[in-house]
């Protein structure tokens, strides 16, 4: 039996295709493969595959770049950002934040506030109405949690007549023009406040400086308040504010002597001292405010 060549075209062997036949050289019956032809065919196929790979990679790169560009434009969203620089308005066409010169203001300064002390330092400026009722208004006084009922009041231009021991001489020597008194009571403790008026702060300060423990204002009784501090030991104080010197005398309406253990007496005296100082101060503030509003 012999193997002859079949009719029809010879099949081409492709190593990448299954069941393809390998080419054989035409010479002899040795059936030896044509190795040169096989190498040439393999090289040709590899070259085509490289070209296809490079071309496909380039197309993929172009596609990714285009997608990124579209994403950037979509993210910006501003129509002006998609225009070339030449299409944007010139700097001179863009309106600025300010279209005119900045406003200017003349430098001003508020006048200094008026000092209340100036109004209570001299009779020339301290011209508001003055009486026991203006300094000590109402029929009672509440300081903290303590209620003090207002008793009698007195007002005299003869200052020495309402003072005791060393005080009359001091008041007269320094030009006291008026002495007003008021009494407050809480339980069995009463206090009289005496306010001596001078023309100037210097006179009041000098008078206060000359006083001593024996410089006492007369206790004022009546109007439901029993006499007190006529012969008993009482607490006394003296101070000044502006053109006013003020004095207190505090004790028991029962006539009992005051000792250092009688804290209620000391608390009552301290309350009324503080209130008197504040009332004189308030007098100055009221007049300073009125003068400021009047211009």
Give the tens place of pLDDT for each residue, 173-224.
Answer: 999 999 999 999 999 999 999 999 999 999 999 999 999 999 999 999 999 9
In this prediction the pTM is 0.64
In tens, the pLDDT along 229-259 reads 999 999 999 999 999 999 999 999 999 999 9
Q: What is the dihedral of CA 46, 48, 49, 50, to 10 degrees?
A: 90
User: Which run of H or E residues covers position 157?
Assistant: none
Q: What is the DSSP letter of 259?
A: -
> In whole angstroms, how far apart are CA 186 and each of 143, 152, 189, 242?
11, 14, 5, 29
> In whole angstroms, how far apart are CA 234 and each of 99, 112, 249?
81, 45, 7
Q: What are phi and psi of 54, to 5 degrees?
A: -65, -45
């Amino acid at each position: 039996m012999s193997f002859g060549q079949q009719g029809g075209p010879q099949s081409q062997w492709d190593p990448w295709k299954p069941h393809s036949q390998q080419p054989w050289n035409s010479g002899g019956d040795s059936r030896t493969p044509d190795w040169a032809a096989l190498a040439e065919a393999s090289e040709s196929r590899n070259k085509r595959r490289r070209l296809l790979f490079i071309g496909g990679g380039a197309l993929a790169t172009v596609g990714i770049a285009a997608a990124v560009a579209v994403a950037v434009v979509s993210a910006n969203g501003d129509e002006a950002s998609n225009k070339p620089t030449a299409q944007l308005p010139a700097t001179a066409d863009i309106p600025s934040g300010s279209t005119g010169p900045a406003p200017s203001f003349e430098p001003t300064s508020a006048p200094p506030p008026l000092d209340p002390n100036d109004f209570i330092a001299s009779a020339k400026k301290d011209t508001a109405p003055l009486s026991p009722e203006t300094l000590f208004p109402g029929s009672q006084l509440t300081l903290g949690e303590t209620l003090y009922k207002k008793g009698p009041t007195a007002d005299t231009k003869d200052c020495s007549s309402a003072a005791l021991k060393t005080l009359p001489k001091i008041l007269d020597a320094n030009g006291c023009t008026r002495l007003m008194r008021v009494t407050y009571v809480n339980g069995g403790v009463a206090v009289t406040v005496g306010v001596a008026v001078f023309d100037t702060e210097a006179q009041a300060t000098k008078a206060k400086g000359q006083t001593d423990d024996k410089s006492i204002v007369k206790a004022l009784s009546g109007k439901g308040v029993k006499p007190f501090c006529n012969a008993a030991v009482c607490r006394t104080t003296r101070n000044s504010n502006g053109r006013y010197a003020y004095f207190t005398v505090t004790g028991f309406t029962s006539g009992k002597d005051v000792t250092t253990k009688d804290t209620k007496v000391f608390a009552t005296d301290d309350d009324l001292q503080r209130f008197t100082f504040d009332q004189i101060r308030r007098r100055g503030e009221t007049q300073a405010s009125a003068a400021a509003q009047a211009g």
